[in-house]
Amino acid sequence: IVLTGGDDRLWKTWGFPDGNILLKGEGHTDWLSGCCFRPSGTQLVTSSGDTTVRIWDLSRRGCILTLRGHSRAVRGCSWHSCGDFVASASKDGTSKIWDVNSERCRYTLRGHEESVNSIEFLPFSSTVLTSSADRTLSLWDVRTVSRL
């Protein structure tokens, strides 16, 4: 199974080798910039030009949570290996760590001078890697909200 998102505002799961669409979801009001399966495989996260991050439940085939807090397009998203946290990177120059269980932003990472274009959790750690249009990469310890 492959997960994609695009300018059509939809996420889609594709089966292979046939290439047929298994599931799709709609709800964002602008292009999708990122999508990622939860480690358990039961949910996924999407990021969008509409400034939101959404959590989708595959069994319900719908959005179960919309996370708002970025002021500009969200450029990427990532799920922590424990499945309880989602990270987002935004054109507003910030990244956010979202607590999925409490449905709120736990930390906002500030320090890049321009758009943050991608974010990834390092496996089984509290460290995230961000890349920015300011031509820098940063490692962050999300427990202390500081660069490493």
Domain architecture of the chain: domains with CATH = 2-147 (2.130.10.10)
Q: What is the pLDDT of residues 6-64, one digit of tens each?
A: 999 999 999 988 899 999 999 999 999 999 999 988 899 999 999 999 999 998 879 99
Give residues with Cβ within 8 angstroms of 135, minimum separation 6. none
Q: What is the pLDDT of residue 143?
A: 85
Q: How far apart are alpha carbons 5 and 101 in whole angstroms?
A: 24
Q: pLDDT averaged over the chain?
A: 94
Please check whether residue 52 is in contact with residue 67, taking contact to mean a CB–CB distance below 8 angstroms.
yes
Indicate the pTM of the whole model.
Answer: 0.93
Quickly state the pLDDT bin for 146 (edges 50, 70, 90): confident
pLDDT of 148 higher than 80? no
